[in-house]
Amino acid sequence: MNKALVVVESPAKAKTIEKFLGRNYVVRASMGHLRDLPKSQFGVDIEHDFEPKYINIRGKGDLIKTLKDEAKKASAVFLATDPDREGEAIAWHLAHLLNIPYSEACRIEFNEITKPAIQKAIKHPRPIDLPRVDAQQARRILDRLVGYKLSPLLWRKVRKGLSAGRVQSVAVRLICDREREIQAFIPEEYWTITARLREKPRSPQFDAELVSIDGKKAEIGDETLANQVTKDLEQAAYTVQDVKRRERRRNPAPPFITSSLQQDASRKLGYTARKTMMLAQQLYEGIEVKGRGPVGLVTYIRTDSTRIAAMAQEEARGYIAATHGQPYLPEKPPVYGTKKKAQDAHEAIRPTSLELTPDLVQGSLSRDQFRLYLLIWERFVASQMAPAVYDTLTVDIKAARYGLRATGSTLKFPGFLAVYGDSKEDAEKEAILPELAVGATLKLQKLSPKQHFTEPPPRYTEASLVKTLEENGIGRPSTYAPIIETIQDRGYVTKVEKKFEPTELGFVVVDLLKEHFHDIVDVDFTADLEDRLDGVADGESSRIHVLKEFYGPFVDTLTKAEEEIGQVELPVEVSDVKCDRCGRLMVVKHGRYGNFLACPGFPECRNTKPILKETGVNCPLCQGAIVQRRTKRGKTFYGCANYPECQFTTWDTPLKENCETCGSFKVRHNFKGGRSVVYCGNEACATRVRTEPEKAKPKSKPKSTPKAGGSRG
């Protein structure tokens, strides 16, 4: 009997699924898309309802032939691509290539790669969901319209090699707008005053902060007023005015969706969005677990729903009761609200089985895979646990015309914090206040006036940018990682100390788009377009209608902009460094790996140099300056300025502080998650035995010199 053919996207997924289906099935991988719009031409027939012209992707001819041959002799063909719009479109293309009617029940879908899920899916095939395919095609064509019509305008008016994207341009605008807020920000001075108090000579001391003056919120804007208030408080009598005790509950966070996984992996593990999605895909498709073969460890990783299957909740409740005890189990399984625009097609991201504990699979995973799996595991288990409970105490104190407040908080019951918490958020100040009664008289021990200045809004990190895109309905779970990668590759933004800063090129392009293509960089317009694409997927609107609505105004704007926009001159920053080949003063350019110096005589003179940032520390080998450098992948390291004559390098940050034992400079080793340790930079120093962090020294030396820059331009 001929075997049934099952087609998936990746070999890892194929290997895992084949194990579950048995000998009557053969599983093959399509290696992603097999057809796409051509790169060398527009590929969309606007005159005929935006009909796309698909071609077979170059290099996939042999694979297509193999799949066709397998399909001809198969007893049945099942298309098991990912359970989202992109996967539906890949299945649609496969059906076209393998001559399978779209109405035939050939499509199988599952949220997790486990034996029960696969066997259930194979018993319930369905026809291809054409509205979902239409939604994916509409998105692809919209992106092609913007990219292939607007990008050439930028080449002609600004610089060759630029691109504009329907979603990426909005992301760059957000970063540019934030930078302008920072540049325009004027710090305002304010003061806080803290009193250290106690009731009796041997009673414990505690702090209370000034909160009101004459019954109104305390606002102290300068040193003169701060000194006057401090003088008054030094002479005032302190009396307990009110004591409030209450119990505060803190609920666990919901299980991960794509965006929250990317955010927590960035904050806690230091992973980029791209790295997080790559590792999550590996965990989803299947890992070779010792004694079990290939196993899919987590559910589908592109989702915006916090919904959890009832069976998974019951399994979690059993695990929590057995492992932590009945008090850690809420009476009813928690239900988390899903945001209005969530597609809710599949569950939140969770482990496929709680039998696959982190301890059980650790030996089968790489370090990075394990850390992400542990994060997903702990977040899911915690999401099904009881709230944490705090006892809080608030004491209001009167001192003449001034009001002060002391707050204390103690963790009464850890609840979900026993499994998953945030080190910064959960380090709730457990300030334990002494027992105080209303009317009690307090003695002043010390007053601490402190000057502060308001701070500008922070620059976006990967985590906060993903959060903002999600909150504004920009893009979808699968698009966040490529958006972040693209805006850096194009030179519109650069990452400095894990925060995004726009380049001059980014400002120029965003300003041009804001003036002439307002809708392309408008947050509300882009979010509304996402809603319309959702409408296509739900069968409420047609692909052609959405494309026509967008294209008419867009092409009119394009024609007008072509006439109005003159040649845009990019600002040039001239350095004081002379080109050592032709003597010209070099200019600052921006490449994929950051800023670098380039000769303005390009293309006659192609000389480039990295911009070296000195640390103020001398090299231990030759006494030259230690400078900050970057590897070809953009990772920061430190090396001697006299390279290649001197080969000194280190991953750790050199400090101007000297070791008390040997006199050598110290270095700071930064751990992922924000923790750091300072230790001696001299490998022979006796203190290294006790203080050197595990794996602080790189196994291999960093590349001695980073790539000087990206593309010229």
DSSP one-letter string for 255-295? PB-HHHHHHHIIIII---HHHHHHHHHHHHH-EEETTTEEE
- The average pLDDT across 391-411 equals 95
- The average pLDDT across 488-509 equals 90
Residues 270 and 302 in one domain: yes
Highest mean pLDDT among 336-350, 490-504, 594-608: 490-504
Q: What pLDDT does residue 630 have?
A: 76
What's the CA gap between 348 and 116, in Å, rounded?
Answer: 18
Tell me if 265 is assigned to some domain. yes
Tell me if 328 is assigned to some domain. yes
Q: Which residue has the higher pLDDT, 189 or 653?
A: 189
What's the CA gap between 656 and 662, in Å, rounded?
Answer: 14
| CATH number of the CATH domain containing 355 | 1.10.290.10
Q: Give the count of beta carbons closer than 10 Å to the beta carbon of residue 257.
A: 25
Does 648 have pLDDT greater than 80? Answer: yes
Does 642 have pLDDT greater than 80? Answer: yes
Predicted confidence (pLDDT) per residue in 505-544, tens digit = 999 999 999 999 999 999 999 999 999 999 999 999 999 9
Catalytic residues: 300
Nearest Cα residue to 408 out of 398, 396, 420, 418 = 396
Tell me if 664 is assigned to some domain. no
Q: What pLDDT does residue 510 have?
A: 95
Chain centroid to CA 658: 37
- The confidence band for 68, taking pLDDT boundaries of 50, 70 and 90, is very high
User: CA angle 20-24-28, nearest 5°?
Assistant: 70
- Buried/exposed 378-401: b ≥16 CB within 10 Å, e otherwise: bbbbbbbbbbbebbbbebbbbbee
Q: Are 491 and 591 in contact (CB under 8 A)?
A: yes
Cis peptide before 654 (omega within 30 of 0): no
Residues 124 and 203 in one domain: no
Count of residues for the chain?
Answer: 713
Residues 10 and 124 in one domain: yes
Q: Which of 357, 383, 409 is the last residue of a domain?
A: 383
Q: Which residue has the higher pLDDT, 5 or 704?
A: 5
Tell me if 670 is assigned to some domain. no
Residues 375 and 265 in one domain: yes
Average pLDDT, the chain: 89
What's the CA gap between 32 and 54, in Å, rounded?
Answer: 15
Chain centroid to CA 462: 4
Lowest mean pLDDT among 130-144, 254-268, 506-520, 573-587: 573-587
| CATH number of the CATH domain containing 448 | 2.70.20.10
Q: What pLDDT does residue 243 have?
A: 96
Does 707 have pLDDT greater than 60? Answer: no
Give the burial class of 78: count Cβ atoms within 10 A of its Cβ; 0-12 exposed, 13-18 middle, 19 or more buried.
Answer: buried
Q: Are 702 and 637 in contact (CB under 8 A)?
A: yes
Q: Are 632 and 593 in contact (CB under 8 A)?
A: yes
Q: What pLDDT does residue 632 have?
A: 67
- The confidence band for 698, taking pLDDT boundaries of 50, 70 and 90, is very low
Structure-block tokens of residue 134: 């239409």
Does 166 have pLDDT greater than 90? Answer: no
Residues 374 and 398 in one domain: no
What's the CA gap between 561 and 153, in Å, rounded?
Answer: 9
Residues 247 and 271 in one domain: no
Nearest Cα residue to 357 out of 378, 328, 333 = 378
Residues 403 and 376 in one domain: no
Residues 303 and 414 in one domain: no
Tell me if 87 is assigned to some domain. yes
What's the CA gap between 438 and 591, in Å, rounded?
Answer: 65
Residues 64 and 155 in one domain: no
| CATH number of the CATH domain containing 514 | 1.10.460.10
- The confidence band for 710, taking pLDDT boundaries of 50, 70 and 90, is very low
Tell me if 600 is assigned to some domain. no
Q: Which residue has the higher pLDDT, 673 or 265?
A: 265
Structure-block tokens of residue 39: 């790169």
Predicted confidence (pLDDT) per residue in 148-160, tens digit = 999 999 989 988 8
What's the CA gap between 692 and 681, in Å, rounded?
Answer: 9
- The confidence band for 137, taking pLDDT boundaries of 50, 70 and 90, is very high
Helical axes 504-516 vs 130-157, angle rounded to 10°? 110
Q: Which residue has the higher pLDDT, 290 or 228?
A: 228
Predicted confidence (pLDDT) per residue in 16-63, tens digit = 999 899 889 999 999 989 999 999 899 999 999 999 999 999 999 999
Residues 365 and 434 in one domain: no
User: Could you tell me the residue range of the domain that residue 465 belongs to?
Assistant: 146-184+459-564
Q: Which residues contact residue 277 at a Cβ distance below 8 angstroms, ignoring those fewer than 6 apart?
A: 258, 262, 301, 481
Q: What pLDDT does residue 338 have?
A: 67
Q: Are 73 and 2 in contact (CB under 8 A)?
A: yes
- The average pLDDT across 68-96 equals 95
Q: Which of 564, 590, 622 is the last residue of a domain?
A: 564
Q: What pLDDT does residue 658 have?
A: 87
- The average pLDDT across 650-676 equals 83
Q: Which of 423, 453, 483 is the last residue of a domain?
A: 453
- The average pLDDT across 432-453 equals 95
Q: Which residues pair with 405 in a beta bridge?
A: 209, 396
Lowest mean pLDDT among 123-132, 285-294, 417-426, 448-457: 417-426
Residues 30 and 80 in one domain: yes
Nearest Cα residue to 713 out of 25, 114, 234, 161 = 161
H helices of 103-241, where?
A: 115-123, 130-157, 168-184, 223-235
- The average pLDDT across 409-429 equals 76
Q: What pLDDT does residue 455 have?
A: 95
Q: What is the pTM of this model?
A: 0.80
- The average pLDDT across 182-201 equals 96
- The confidence band for 258, taking pLDDT boundaries of 50, 70 and 90, is very high
Residues 176 and 205 in one domain: no
Q: What pLDDT does residue 700 have?
A: 42
Structure-block tokens of residue 455: 């701070």
- The confidence band for 703, taking pLDDT boundaries of 50, 70 and 90, is very low
- The confidence band for 633, taking pLDDT boundaries of 50, 70 and 90, is low
- The average pLDDT across 211-226 equals 96
Give the burial class of 496: count Cβ atoms within 10 A of its Cβ; 0-12 exposed, 13-18 middle, 19 or more buried.
Answer: exposed
Tell me if 439 is assigned to some domain. yes
Q: In total, how many domains does the chain have?
A: 4
- The average pLDDT across 551-575 equals 89
Tell me if 240 is assigned to some domain. yes
Calculate what percentage of the chain has a pLDDT beyond 70. Answer: 92
